[in-house]
Structure formats: structure tokens, C-alpha cells
Amino acid sequence: MGIIIGDTITLDNGLTAQSTYGSFGDSILTLEKSRISTLDENNTEVITYEYRLSCKGSIWSSKEYRDALKPKLHAENISIVVQPSQLNSNLYTILYTNWKSKYTTVTDSSS
């Protein structure tokens, strides 16, 4: 699973690339549960939990470069808060949806 990014992206070295391939494939997905304590209108402590989903998205010049184990052009940390009801979903799909929203021209890659 991956994405084809049609946008022109500017790399850390100042060069640009277009029609690149992005994937979470070689990164560790992390899910963190945090306890959040707040006070309600009666000054009573209310405990809720926040779930943060994170993974590093890697970008290559093409899918063929990724498949050939060539060096990455760029990496982006994707970190989002998810609802408890989303924890039964495909977490990678949630991350890809968020990552794709950062670009104007992006399509899914089947592999």
C-alpha cells in the first residue's frame, strides 16, 4: 500500500521532486494512550483518554526506487489523534487518509 504524490515537493536540500511514491511500509506504527484529567462545571475531576496514532511516511522518487531499496528522498512524521471507535479500523488506512490530505494531487497505489 502506498500513495503517488503528484504535487511538487521541496526536499530538505532545496531540490524539488514531482510524482513521487510514499509509503509507511518500513516504519513502526505507534499507538499511545494518554490519560487526560479535566474539571467539569462542578469542579469534579473528569478522566478521559486520548489515542495518538503515529508513523513515519517515507518518500522515494518512484515506486520502482522503493522496490529496488534505493535511498529515500524525504520522510514525514504523521501523527493524529483518533477516537476510540476508530481503533477497530485499519490504522494504516486512517494514517494514509491523513497523509493524503496534505497534498492536492495524490492517488492510491495498489502495492
Residue written as grid cell 522496490: 67
What predicted TM-score, i.e. pTM, was given to this entire model? 0.83
φ/ψ of residue 93, rounded to 5 = -60, -40
Beta carbons within 10 angstroms of residue 29's beta carbon: 13
Ordered per-residue pLDDT tens for the chain, 111 residues: 899 999 999 988 899 999 999 999 889 999 999 999 999 999 999 999 999 999 999 999 999 999 999 999 999 999 999 999 999 999 999 999 999 999 999 999 876
Domain boundaries, the chain: 2-102
Gap between the Cα atoms of 29 and 35, Å rounded: 20
